[in-house]
């Protein structure tokens, strides 16, 4: 009888894990709460009306339609029972011989319930569409609202790659799209704020990248505030730790993430931020035949004593390595291979012709960095069709400085 492998979550790690398992050797079940694999690096472009939501979302059944050994269930994983080797989900129980947790992360509001209730997240395709809807509706409301003060300010919290890229995209939208679509709105009154709790934007990159990103954003008109923490947001006014208040109807939160943990994981195996402690083979501590990969996994190594960065390349590498190790286990071939992340570099884009690339041996910025960023992200997109659509959108936007994707997609009632 084939051994059962249950994969909880089909993000970068889960997808690569299944893709690298030997075909027809196992009975594989993928359980995910959405029916599509998502591409988070480009969520900000969906939010800024630059690309279509469908180009960063790939139906899981389409991906595996030629794999008879893979079954897919749309459900939420509730808990794991290590003793009896099954997981409990919103649609029932599933037994397993091996369980792979690849549930990723969610927005971390650091216990501020009021902010969580009123701010917008950017951790899914749906949330990206929601941000786009709210920003576009914000512009529509500016045409007739009596009290416009809060509508003129777009506030982004978190100066990491997502925050920087989103701030740059909205700054370009304000300067280039607003005058064409809304000639009656004074574009000079529209402000894009980027609030960062640390001393620099792009804190995980080099000082070179930090300085460049901040300078370019400010040149684009973004109001960058570092060492600034949001203490409250009631849906109308953002309150900062220095007492300053910014009236705004739109706050987009990209300041941190916490793990999408499930019940049944021993407390000793969990960090406060929800990440699951794993060994060098991605096996969850204090559980048997349970593994965690990607953003949810916390693995300490000599190179990364505080855990690996939560990047797509880490998840992809862990998924591939785990698939190979399971084959070694099943074939009784040892030793297993420990995982280690080889940092090939990091990058971020700030806007048209503006990006920064940190490689181990060189750092560069500007137009060439922007081309490299576009090429590598295009290669990571799954289907040829989606690569082509995204490329055409990018090329059209570059030539015309305009696009036709500014749709408000929500119930009109």
pLDDT, tens digit, 9 for 90 and up, residues 317-354: 999 999 999 999 988 887 899 999 988 889 999 998 99
**pLDDT tens digits, one per residue of 137-157:** 999 999 998 888 899 999 999
Distance of alpha carbon 309 from alpha carbon 339, whole angstroms: 14
Instruction: Output Rg (C-alpha) for the chain, integer angstroms.
Output: 22
Nearest to 159 by CA among 194, 128, 193: 194
Q: Which residues of 56-79 are buried (b: 16+ CB within 10 A; e: fewer)?
A: bbbebeebbeebebbebbebebee
Query: Domain 113-255 - what CATH class?
Result: alpha beta
- And the tokens for 354? 């503006």
CA distances 2 to 23, 97, 99, 310, 328, Å, are 12, 10, 14, 33, 16
Domain boundaries, the chain: 3-33+75-107+257-330, 113-255
Bridge partners (DSSP) listed for residue 259? 105
| Local structure of 162: helix, strand or coil | helix
Distance of alpha carbon 169 from alpha carbon 220, whole angstroms: 10
Q: What is the dihedral of CA 35, 313, 346, 157, to 10 degrees?
A: 40
Q: How many residues does the chain have?
A: 413
Same fold, 3-33+75-107+257-330 and 113-255: yes
Distance of alpha carbon 152 from alpha carbon 344, whole angstroms: 40
Helix axes 312-330, 12-19, angle to 10 degrees: 30
**pLDDT tens digits, one per residue of 245-302:** 999 999 999 998 999 999 999 999 999 999 999 999 999 999 999 999 999 999 999 9
- Kindly state the average pLDDT of the residues 376-392: 83
Assign 3-class secondary structure to 149-178.
Answer: HHHHEEEEECCCHHHHHHHHHHHHHHHHHH
DSSP strand pairing (86-89 vs 77-81): antiparallel
Give the CATH superfamily of 3-33+75-107+257-330: FAD/NAD(P)-binding domain (3.50.50.60)
Q: In the prediction, which pLDDT does 413 show?
A: 57
**pLDDT tens digits, one per residue of 94-133:** 999 999 999 999 999 988 999 999 999 999 999 999 999 9
Distance of alpha carbon 350 from alpha carbon 209, whole angstroms: 11
Distance of alpha carbon 259 from alpha carbon 77, whole angstroms: 13
- And the tokens for 179? 């005058």
Distance of alpha carbon 366 from alpha carbon 353, whole angstroms: 6
Q: How many CB atoms lie within 10 A of CB 305?
A: 7
Distance of alpha carbon 225 from alpha carbon 295, whole angstroms: 28
- Kindly state the average pLDDT of the residues 11-19: 95
350 neighbors 356 (Cβ within 8 angstroms): yes
pLDDT, greater one: 1 or 212: 212
């Amino acid at each position: 009888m084939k051994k059962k492998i249950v994969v909880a979550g089909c993000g970068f790690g889960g997808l690569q894990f299944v893709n690298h398992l030997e075909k027809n050797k196992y009975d594989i079940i993928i359980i995910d709460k959405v029916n599509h694999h998502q591409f988070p690096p480009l969520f900000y472009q969906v939010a800024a009306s630059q690309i279509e939501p469908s180009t960063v979302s790939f139906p899981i059944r389409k991906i595996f339609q030629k794999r008879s050994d893979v079954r897919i269930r749309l459900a939420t994983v509730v808990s794991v029972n290590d003793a009896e080797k099954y997981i409990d989900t919103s649609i029932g129980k599933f037994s397993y011989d091996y369980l792979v947790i690849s549930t990723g992360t969610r927005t971390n509001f650091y216990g501020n319930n009021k902010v969580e209730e009123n701010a917008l997240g950017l951790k899914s395709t749906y949330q990206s569409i929601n941000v786009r809807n709210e920003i576009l509706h914000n512009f529509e409301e500016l045409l007739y609202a009596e009290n416009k003060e809060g509508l003129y300010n777009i506030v982004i919290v978190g100066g990491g790659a997502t925050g920087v890229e989103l701030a740059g995209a909205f700054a370009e939208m304000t300067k280039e799209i607003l005058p064409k679509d809304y000639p009656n709105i004074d574009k000079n009154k529209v402000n894009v704020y980027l609030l960062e709790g640390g001393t620099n934007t792009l804190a995980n990159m080099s000082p070179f990248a930090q300085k460049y990103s901040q300078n370019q954003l400010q040149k684009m008109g973004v109001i960058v505030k570092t060492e600034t923490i949001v203490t409250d947001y009631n849906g109308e006014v953002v309150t900062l730790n220095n007492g300053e208040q910014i009236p705004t109807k739109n706050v987009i939160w990209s300041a941190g993430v916490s793990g999408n943990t499930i019940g049944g994981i021993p407390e000793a195996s969990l960090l406060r931020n929800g990440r699951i402690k794993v060994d060098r083979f991605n096996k969850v501590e204090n559980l048997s035949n349970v593994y965690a990969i990607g953003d949810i996994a916390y693995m300490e190594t000599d190179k990364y004593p505080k855990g690996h960065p939560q990047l797509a390349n880490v998840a992809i590498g862990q998924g591939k390595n785990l698939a190979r190790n399971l084959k070694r286990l099943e074939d009784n071939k040892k030793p297993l291979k420990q995982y280690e992340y080889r940092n090939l570099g990091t990058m971020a884009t700030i806007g048209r012709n503006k990006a920064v690339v940190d490689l181990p041996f060189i750092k560069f910025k500007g137009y060439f960095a922007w081309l490299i960023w576009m090429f590598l992200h295009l290669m990571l997109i799954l289907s040829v069709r989606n690569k082509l659509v995204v490329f055409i959108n990018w090329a059209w936007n570059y030539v015309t400085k305009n696009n036709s994707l500014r749709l408000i997609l929500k119930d009109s009632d």
